[in-house]
Structure formats: structure tokens, C-alpha cells
Structure 1
Amino acid sequence: MRVSGKKGFTLIELLIVVVIIGILAAIAIPKFASTKEKAYLASEKSDLRNMATSQEAYFSGNQTYTTDQSAMNFTTSQGVTITGMVADAKGWKGTSQHSATTKKCYAGFGSQAAATTLDGIITCDP
């Protein structure tokens, strides 16, 4: 390295810094995307739990379950929709999906619970 009166960074030093920042970004960005996906699934699960509570509250007054979300006094989180809602006097089931992901979560109880799920247990796509 030559000694001169000028102060600053050499091109090699700047290049090394850019490479290090690139490596850190390559590590951080996939982890961030994974964290967002987990947050969307948590929102879906939360809405299904809230729907289960609302279904049981509705059942206690009407002796049947319902597919009408307004009758259950139930509102989904932003971006989450409940589909495939089926209900009768012996059970209910529903599917939730966030608009930002393709993964769905499922829950059911009683006669309507899917064969692959246990009563009240929420399962999600892998």
C-alpha cells in the first residue's frame, strides 16, 4: 500500500464490503419470507379458533351450528377468508386461507370434521 496524503477507501476494500453485504442479504431474505409465511398461517389458525368459539356460542343458544358468519358475530382478520363452511346440528367445518399465501388451514367438529382431522384440531397444508 502506498502512503499518500489522500484519505479514503481503496477499490478492493469497497468491493469486499459489497460482497459481505450481498452474503448477508442472501441469508436474511429467505428467512424473512419464511417468517411472513408463518405469520399468515398464524392468522389463519387464529381465525379458525375464533370461529370455533363463535360456533359453540351460537350452538348454546340455537342447538345447531351455522354457516352465517354474521349470525355468529364473527369477523375474519384482514386478508383471511373462510370457505367451505358446512354446518348442521351435529357439527361444523371450515377452511381458512390468507390472500398472500396458497396454504390453507382446516378445522371441524362433530359430524362434519374431516376424516383426517380430530375434533377441534386445526391442521394446515405443509
Structure 2
Amino acid sequence: MRKNTSKKGFTLVEIMIVVVIIGLLAAMAIPAFQKVRLDSRESAVTNDARQLASAAQQYMLENNTTTVTVGYTSTDGTVGSDLEDYVRRVGTGYTMATTLGIDSDFTISHPQLITDTNTTGTLTFTAEGQLK
């Protein structure tokens, strides 16, 4: 009686080669994904800073003052106090200045902005909302 064995399938060497190739692809893709994620967060923070600065400039112009109070709730991103009529909501999780001035820089911090070069996760903006 003859044993019917199949010769289909992969050898151990072929499977190991595929695993190595997948590992190399992952090693290249993960840092690229992290960079895209960081750039996306930086863009969001920059956009929020521009909105806040624009709202502050408009408030100061209409009320003939040089400073404005920013009431910000980090859990839901709502903006209150003097700016609530100009901007309702920005991103969540920020730590930012409570007062914006007509000629003073301000900072916004977020934990997801922490990198090897930016150990505090803080970005500094001009009074117009431009990244410094």
C-alpha cells in the first residue's frame, strides 16, 4: 500500500524569509507613521493657535485693550471667558497661557508633541499665531 503524501506547502526557509521581509518593512514603516502622526498633531496645534490669536486680536481691537483672558477647558477643548464669542472650541489636552497680549508671544503644550528634540512638548507662537 502506497502512502499518499502531499508535497504542497512552504518550507521553513521560505517562511523565515517572509518573516524577515515583513520585519524589515515594519522597521521602515513604523518611524514614518510616527513622523506623520507628530506632523499632524503639530499642524492641529498650529491651526488652533492661529484661531486663538485671531480671536484675541479681534477682541482686543473691538474692546480697545491690549490683553485678553483665555478660559480654556482641556478635557473638551471649549474656550470661554472673553473669547467665547470669537472661538468656541479648539483641540483637547493643551496647556496654554491664560492671557494673550497684543505684542506678546504665547505657548501651547501637548504631551503628544514630546520628541527627542522637544522634550517639553511646547510650541511658541507670536501674537498673530505664527509658529516661532
Deviations 1:80-119 (A, max 9, x none): 33237443xx53431012222223221233xxxxxxxxx6
**CA distance in structure 2 between the partners assigned to 1:86 and 1:59 by the alignment:** 10
Correspondence list, 1:46-125, <5 A: 46-64=47-65, 65-69=67-71, 70=80, 71-73=82-84, 74=87, 75-83=89-97, 85-87=99-101, 90-102=102-114, 103-109=121-127, 120-123=129-132
2:123–2:131 Cα contact (<8 Å) kept: yes
- TM-score, normalising length: structure 1: 0.74
**Moved runs in structure 1, 4+ residues, more than 3 A?**
none
Deviations 1:6-25 (A, max 9, x none): 21111111010000000000
Cα shift at 1:120: 4.8
- Residue aligning to 1:33: 34
Aligned-residue RMSD, C-alpha: 2.1
**Structure 1: 5+ residue stretches without partners:** 110-118
Partner of 1:105: helix, strand, or coil? strand
Partner of 1:68: helix, strand, or coil? strand
Counterpart residue type for residue 98 of structure 1: H
Per mean C-alpha deviation after superposition, the further-off stretch among 69-78 and 49-58 is 69-78
**Structure 2: 5+ residue stretches without partners:** 72-79, 115-120
**CA distance in structure 1 between the partners assigned to 2:54 and 2:100 by the alignment:** 16
- TM-score, normalising length: structure 2: 0.71
- Residue aligning to 1:42: 43
Counterpart residue type for residue 6 of structure 1: K
